Amino acid sequence: MSFRLTNKQLAFYGLALLAVAAMLGSVSLTYPFGRDQGIYAYAGKLLLEGKMNYKEVFDLKPPGIHFFFSFIQLVAGESMLNARILDILWQFLTAVVVMIISSRLTRNIYLSLVSAFLYIFLYFRMDYWHTLQADGALNLFFALTVLLTISSFYSHSFLKIFAAGLVFGIALLFKYTIISFLPLLLICFLLSKTELTSLRIKNVIIFLTGLVSIILSVVLLYQFTGALPELINVQFVQTPLYTSIAYETETGGYIFSQLLKLFVYSVYAPLIWFTAAALVLLARAKKLDFPSLVLFSWVAASLFSLIIQWKFYYYHFLVIIAPLAIGAVYFVSLLLVKLPDRKKYAAKWVLAVFFVAFAGYAFKPYLTSYPVLFSVLSQQRSLKDAYKYNGFTTDSVFMISKTLRAVEKVENETNKTDNIFVWGFDPLVYYLSGRNCTSRFIYNFPLLWKGENSDLKKEFMSKMEANPPKMILVAKNDPLLFISGYNEDSKRLLGRFTEFSSFIDIRYSLYTSIDDFDYYRLKNW
């Protein structure tokens, strides 16, 4: 039988989680957008205007994150602060689902609350760049997939299986790398301990029907809007070019060090080993039932999603925190059941001390974020100043303060109806200034990738010549080897695109340089 929370318990503990999410998530209220969020926000804004992503905005990410930011702007408007508030609520809902899944496995409400707390705690210890990313947004849909699938096992509900397929399809629209969950889940269905083989096969078919329904709906949407060719080209031609850069530029030593960190001394390592221990305990006891298999499939697929991307950016870790938060606590529940009564009391204290020590060790990022939040609340610092303080990278490749100054200059020297263009990787300028990009290429790397991109260059130049932007910003000091394939900044990379370089020389005049941007004004303007 499945352990179920009553409505009263769900409401009470849900409110407790909301308080935790508000307390921990509040540090993100002083976070600006980074480059990535700038892409999503600008694409989301154009979607609300009826302009399809890929056709109007070139981006390598699957469409889910663009529609997610459309949803944010539809609900909360074009505000970085409101987007952060909505993210807190989104992660709270994810934590509630995590709690419910954990309760089904551990049969202990207090342990399930620990799972939910771990999820929120690990999510909001990420900084401005690594929150509000696709890897974190999809967790709600991935968790719902798992919950619906586990629930269907007890209720034999075909509707829940169909819904699980639908929801997993939505999750895939955020990150294709979670696809490995599909074959693992199908194996779980086929290995489930039901008397009727036909029932197992029906479950598989119904789940796949739900999944395919989402995929077909997306295909039809893009076909109807005329954006399907661009979607196919970006996702299946250009994206492989991008991913190949990582495999070419990242060394074996880097990959080994990142894997060592992940499994040995990262904040996630003890959770991974606890989860692995749960798998061992269940396997030895021959108690690997369907819900447990689904959980471990979720863990495996999430780890695969992280590792296969080969970059180990911090936000890529977001996809693993929900299943690990459940898996680690699941091990604790199994351990407490296995131990004799005389040892349970001592074990509880040992585990409590461990989790407190773990939380203390992992709390460090909050120590720098809370003072900034308090300074804003006490009006010692403006929100804009907080953005400048929080919005930087250690290598200074991106600093929000420089972006904000660029936005201010664009706003002062152009009209709302004027198009601009940023040769570099700072799409946030478009979003914050309210100016549109002349081209769908809101960053320059697709025009420079090694491979066949002559058609993209022709398309770009055609747009530029037909509707030259009023202002062009050329970025400097922004080399991104893992993205462009070149260890050169955008100003130097301009020399690799002679047609555009000549276009600027003929049609524009350089009139100032501020921070990491050269500003070009259209002649006879």
CA-CA-CA-CA torsion sign (111, 113, 116, 120): negative
What was the pLDDT predicted at 491?
92
Distance CA(435)–CA(417), nearest Å, equals 7
Residue 22 has pLDDT above 90, yes or no: yes
% the chain with pLDDT above 90: 65
What would the mean pLDDT of 500-518 be, rounded to a whole number?
93
Higher pLDDT, 28 or 395: 28
Q: Model confidence at 36, in pLDDT bands (50, 70, 90)?
A: very high
pTM: 0.92
Q: Model confidence at 452, in pLDDT bands (50, 70, 90)?
A: low
Alpha helices by DSSP H, 107-196: 109-124, 134-137, 139-155, 158-172, 181-191
What was the pLDDT predicted at 246?
65
Element (H, E) at 256: helix 252-260
Q: Give the lowest-confidence range in 75-89, 369-383, 402-416, 474-488.
A: 474-488
Residue 243 has pLDDT above 80, yes or no: no
What was the pLDDT predicted at 275?
96
Q: What is the CB neighbour count within 10 angstroms for residue 110?
A: 10
Residue 211 has pLDDT above 60, yes or no: yes
What was the pLDDT predicted at 287?
87
Looking at the chain, the number of H-run helices and the number of E-run strands are 25, 5
pLDDT tens by residue, 365-412: 898 899 999 999 999 999 998 988 888 765 556 788 899 999 999 999
What was the pLDDT predicted at 397?
63
Residue 115 has pLDDT above 90, yes or no: yes
The domain segmentation of the chain, as residue ranges, is: 7-366, 400-522
Distance CA(446)–CA(439), nearest Å, equals 12
What would the mean pLDDT of 317-342 be, rounded to a whole number?
88
% the chain with pLDDT above 70: 94
Distance CA(189)–CA(340), nearest Å, equals 34
Q: Model confidence at 487, in pLDDT bands (50, 70, 90)?
A: confident
Q: 166 burial class (0-12, 13-18, 19+ CB within 10 angstroms)?
A: buried
Tokens for 348, please give them: 């509880």
Q: What is the CB neighbour count within 10 angstroms for residue 69?
A: 25
What would the mean pLDDT of 77-85 be, rounded to a whole number?
94
Strand, helix or coil for residue 419: strand
Question: From the centroid of its chain, how far is CA 429?
Answer: 21
What would the mean pLDDT of 316-321 be, rounded to a whole number?
96
What was the pLDDT predicted at 312?
84
What would the mean pLDDT of 110-127 be, rounded to a whole number?
94
Residue 120 has pLDDT above 90, yes or no: yes
Residue 83 has pLDDT above 90, yes or no: yes
Distance CA(373)–CA(392), nearest Å, equals 16
Q: Model confidence at 162, in pLDDT bands (50, 70, 90)?
A: very high
What was the pLDDT predicted at 434?
94
Are 390 and 372 a contacting pair, CB within 8 Å? yes
pLDDT tens by residue, 168-196: 999 999 999 999 999 999 988 888 766 56
What would the mean pLDDT of 414-442 be, rounded to a whole number?
94
pLDDT tens by residue, 454-463: 889 999 999 9
Q: What is the DSSP string of 42-103?
A: HHHHHHHTTPPBTTTB--SS-THHHHHHHHHHHHH-S-HHHHHHHHHHHHHHHHHHHHHHHH
What was the pLDDT predicted at 143?
98
Mean residue pLDDT across the chain: 89
What was the pLDDT predicted at 52?
95
Higher pLDDT, 355 or 41: 41
Residue 341 has pLDDT above 70, yes or no: no
Across the strands, what pairs with 419? 436
Higher pLDDT, 347 or 516: 516
